[in-house]
Amino acid sequence: MEKRPFVTKERLEEIVKEYPTPFHLYDEKGIRENARKLKDAFSWNKGYREYFAVKATPNPFILNILKDYGCGADCSSMTELMMSDSLGFSGSDIMFSSNNTPAEEFQYADKIGGIINLDDITHIEYLKKAIGHIPETISCRYNPGGIFKISNDIMDNPGDSKYGMTTEQMFEAFRILKSNGAKHFGIHAFLASNTVTNEYYPLLAKVLFELAVKLKKETGAHISFINLSGGIGIPYRPGQEPNDIKAIGEGVREVYEEILVPEGMGDVAIYTELGRFMLGPYGGLVTRAIHEKHTHKEYVGVDACAVNLMRPAMYGAYHHITVMGKEGEVCSHKYDVVGSLCENNDKFAIDRMLPEISRGDLLFIHDTGAHGYAMGYNYNGKLKSAELLLKEDGSVQMIRRAETPRDYFATFDFCDVLKDIKY
């Protein structure tokens, strides 16, 4: 299955006349269609809600699009809470799932009425001291440990993860929270990342539903919601079969009716916290080839770098690359596609077979809509790019301007040590 950009070469050539490369481009039509499909897939659950993982794409324009479909905001830091609150997400619209959380962040989350999802049993006393009480609605993050498998395939290793409480701690936490006034409980878990299989969510649901039944019986707690969190992935490579969200929703429904309904728990709401699935395929990094180098290998140098997309450098992650206008040409040249950082891992592709690339060619790096711009940084004094939205009517809107040197030096505004810089 060939990967095709959601924008044509002709349209990109028009866009770059106004907005210089590199930039992240998002597909509004795709985002909206995907949000509708997700909502429909879980429409069987009366209380269902998607809490979009703000960390994946922390842009207010994107959040407002998702808000149109009833999405809440999953936040993990003060600034994400502030952004969500400013956009009108409030109270139960916000899920605060953090770890090693500073007291002031718990205080702010409580102030705006967000649902707090505790990562550790020791955080109960810490939270109580920070805000002066235990909220009536609260959630706990679960980590069963061990290896998480689907059939014979190892999907991830929760036992090595820093997140969540053990099984024994969950029971103790619920008892402590209940004795401190908590009335409505949530259970949350994230056991595998970027799964491209329809089996993950139903298997995770089974683990959490069975735990919920035991917690209710042994602690008397009212389980209000079960949060399946993220983990539904996307096909980064051509030929990978994408997840079928309708089948995933149906699989969770079957387990729900098998385990929860017979126990009188048919009122439990299902929540999700998807980031990659919601936005990943609907963003691309647009960059231009500016150099070529012929040494021990063949290199194409582009005007983007790991500052704009960190995943390949950090994880060795694969992102497909389309050379715009050469989609039908034979991939006859082997290239390393590289950025300009003083780091040898600043490579978008290694030994990648592509059509012959000439200076000036536009490259579209796929699937950067989640954890793309968001993971950027300023190493080497590089500046983060603009974010653009390709709207449903074909027009383009800038939804974040590119950084400037003035932004980079802004944190020295308390002194005049750099007063002679000319912008």
Contact status, residue 216 vs residue 264, Cβ threshold 8 Å: no
Residue positions annotated with a catalytic role: 342
Residue (of 186, 195, 183, 149) closest to 165 by Cα position: 186
Residue (of 275, 276, 280, 235) closest to 71 by Cα position: 275
Helix (H), strand (E) at residue 179: helix 167-179
Contact status, residue 116 vs residue 106, Cβ threshold 8 Å: yes
Q: Residue 335 is encoded by which pair of tokens? A: 């290239």
First to last CA, the chain: 47
Contact status, residue 339 vs residue 300, Cβ threshold 8 Å: no
HSE, CB side, 13 Å, CA atoms: give it for residue 240: 18
CA 249 to the chain's CA centroid:
19
Amino acid (one-letter) located at 141 = R
Residue (of 420, 396, 412, 401) closest to 59 by Cα position: 401
Rounded CA separation 162/179 (Å) = 27
Query: DSSP label at 260?
Result: T
10 Å CB burial of residue 35 (0-12, 13-18, 19+) is buried
**C-alpha angle 323/328/329, rounded to 5°?**
75
Rounded CA separation 41/260 (Å) = 19
Alpha-helical (H) ranges within 42-163 are 60-67, 78-86, 103-111, 123-131
